[in-house]
Structure 1
Amino acid sequence: MTSIEEQGIVVTGAAGGIGRALAKRLIAEGARVVVNDLNPAATEATAAELGAFAVAGDAASESGVKALIEASRAHLGHIDAWFGNAGVVQGEDIDSSEADWATSWQVNTMAHVRAARLLVPDWLERGGGRFVMTVSAAGLLTALDAAPYSVTKHGAIAFAEWLSATYRHRGIVVQAICPQAVQTNLLPTGPLASILGGDGALTPDEVAEATWQAVQDDRFLILPHPPVGDYYRARATDTDRWLKGMNKLQRGLEQAKEAL
C-alpha cells in the first residue's frame, strides 16, 4: 500500500467536482494538500472546509503555474505529488472559434506541460514524484459534440504517456484519470447526456476513490468506468469498426436534436 501521510500534494481545479473530491480523499489519508482554482472565494471556502491550504490563480498559464508552485513549496516545503485536474469544455463542432480552441489547448494540455517542466527537475534530484492528470475518457476515445475538448484531451494523454516512458525508471510515477460521465458542472445535458451516461454517471467521490485505489499500484490508466478499457481495446483492435460505431452514435445524436 502506498502511504501519502504527511506528503505535500497540490490539486488544481479543486474548488468543486473531481478536484475537490480528490483533495478530500488525500487529506483523509493524511496528506498536506494545497487546493487551487481560479475563483479565490471558492478556493478559500474549499480549503477551510477540508483543512487544506488555498492558492487561487490560473494553473494553466506560464506565470500562473509558476506562482502556484512557488507558493505551494513555500507552504509545503516540497511537492511530492501533483494532481492536475483543472479542465474546460468549450466549443462543439468544426465551427468552434479560435478562442475556444486556444483556451482548450492551454488548459487541457499545456497546463500539464508547464507544471511538469517546473516539477520534474526537483523530482529527479529527490529521486521521485507523482504526476496525476485528470484526462477523461475523451482522451482515450473521443467526445461527440466537443471537438476542442476531445482533441486537447488526446494531447494530454499523449503527454502523459511520453512523461511516463521518459522518467518512470527515475522514480516519477505518471497516472491518467479517464472517467466517462461524472456528476459535475461539465456533465452535458440533453441527448448527449444519455449517450455519455450509458455506463452510469459517477459521483466525484467515486472517481476519487477509484483514483486512490489506483495510486496503490501506480497503474498508468485510471478507469473509474471499467467499460472504457473495453472500448479502448476495441478502438485499437479494429479502428474502422469502432469509428462506424461512434458514427452511429453521432447519427442518433443528430436525430435526437432534430426531434427536440
Structure 2
Amino acid sequence: MSAFEPDGACVVVTGAGNGIGAALATGLAGRGARVVVADLDADGAARTVAAIEAAGGQAIAAPGDAASEEGIAALIAAARDAYGPIGAWFANAGVDRGRGLDASEADWALSLDVNVMAHVRAARQLVPDWLAADGGRFVVTASAAGLLTMLDAPAYSVTKHGAVAFAEWLSATYRHRGIVVQAICPQGVQTRMLDEAGPLQEVLSHDTALTAEQVADGVITALGGDEFLILPHPEVAGYYAARATATDRWLGGMNRLQQRLDQHDG
C-alpha cells in the first residue's frame, strides 16, 4: 500500500477557489503541504490563499485556465518555480452545463474540455517527470455521476464517466511504476453546483448532502492508501454494484426517479 504524506510536498489543486477544491487546498495546507491554488476565478483563488495563510499554511494563487495545454503548462511552471517538484495533482475543476437534449454543442465541448481533456493534458505533462522520480499521485474529482449517471445532465454524466475511465486507464498503465491514481466520486455536496441543481437537489441529497470539508477530510484520509475509488458517500458502492450486476433493474429505478422529476416539472 502506497501512502502520500502532504507535509512538505508541493501539491496543485485546480478549481480551488470555491467548494471542494477550496476545502481540499485548505485541508492539505493544514497538514503541511505547500499548495498551489488554481482557479479561473482569481478572487476565489486569492480568498483560499488568504484563508490558508491566516491559518499558518503555505500557498500561492495561480489564477488561469487549468484545462488548456498552455494553461496547464503555465500552472505547472508556476508550481515548480514556487515549491519545486509536484508531488500530487488534484484535478478538481469541473463544469455542469446544459440540460437534457437541449444541451448545446458549446455545453458539450466545454464539458469535455474541462471534465476530461484537462486531466489528459495534465497527465501528459506530469507523468514523464513522475516516472523519472519513481512516483506521483493524480487525484481526479469525478462524481457519483461518473459511476452511475445524473438525470437531466447528459454532458456532465458522460464526461464524468470519461474522467473515471481516463483515471482507470492511467492507473492500469502506470501503477506498477509508482504512480497512484484515485477518483473521488461523491453524490450531493453542499456547493454552488448543488444549489443550482433545481429539482435534482432532492435526488443528489438522498443519502445526505455532505459539506465540502467532509469530502476533503475523507480524501485526505484516503491519501494514506492507494485505493482507486474514494467514496465520500459509501452507499455509492452498492449502487455501482447494482448497476453492474442488475443493469435493467437499476435503469428501471433511475427511470422511476426521472418520472418523479417529470411530474415536478409538469
TM-score range, shorter chain: over 0.9
Q: How many residues align?
A: 258
Aligned to 1:30: 32
Provide the aligned C-alpha RMSD in A.
Answer: 1.0
Aligned to 1:93: 100
Give the alignment partner of residue 151 of structure 1, picking from 143, 152, 158.
158
1:39 to 2:41 alignment: yes
Shift of the alpha carbon at 1:113?
0.4
Give, as a single letter, the amino acid of the residue that structure 2 aligns with 1:126.
A
- Listed one character per residue, the Cα deviations across residues 47-97 of structure 1 (whole Å, up to 9, x for unaligned) are 122131111000011111111111111111110000010000100111210
Q: 2:140, 2:183 within 8 Å by CA — same for their partners in 1?
A: yes
Give the alignment partner of residue 244 of structure 1, picking from 249, 252, 260.
252
1:132 to 2:121 alignment: no
| Range with bigger deviation, 244-253 or 187-196 | 187-196
Distance in structure 1 (CA, Å) of the matches to 2:5 and 2:76: 23
Shift of the alpha carbon at 1:44?
1.8
Give, as a single letter, the amino acid of the residue that structure 1 aligns with 2:42.
P
Distance in structure 1 (CA, Å) of the matches to 2:154 and 2:192: 18
Shift of the alpha carbon at 1:17?
0.3
Shift of the alpha carbon at 1:189?
4.0
Give the 5 Å matches for 1:192-211: 192-211=200-219
Name structure 1 gaps, 5 residues minimum. none
Q: 1:118 to 1:213 in 2, by over 3 A?
A: same
Q: 2:26, 2:48 within 8 Å by CA — same for their partners in 1?
A: no
Give the alignment partner of residue 167 of structure 2, picking from 151, 160, 166.
160
Q: 1:2 to 1:110 in 2, by over 3 A?
A: closer
SS at 2:97 equivalent:
coil
Q: TM-score under structure 1 normalisation?
A: 0.97
Shift of the alpha carbon at 1:130?
0.3
| Range with bigger deviation, 167-176 or 38-47 | 38-47
Give the alignment partner of residue 79 of structure 2, picking from 72, 77, 98.
72
Distance in structure 1 (CA, Å) of the matches to 2:23 and 2:46: 15
SS at 1:104 equivalent:
helix
Name structure 2 gaps, 5 residues minimum. 54-58
Q: 2:64, 2:71 within 8 Å by CA — same for their partners in 1?
A: yes
Give, as a single letter, the amino acid of the residue that structure 1 aligns with 2:12.
V
Distance in structure 2 (CA, Å) of the matches to 1:214 and 1:14: 19
Shift of the alpha carbon at 1:2?
4.2
Q: TM-score under structure 2 normalisation?
A: 0.95
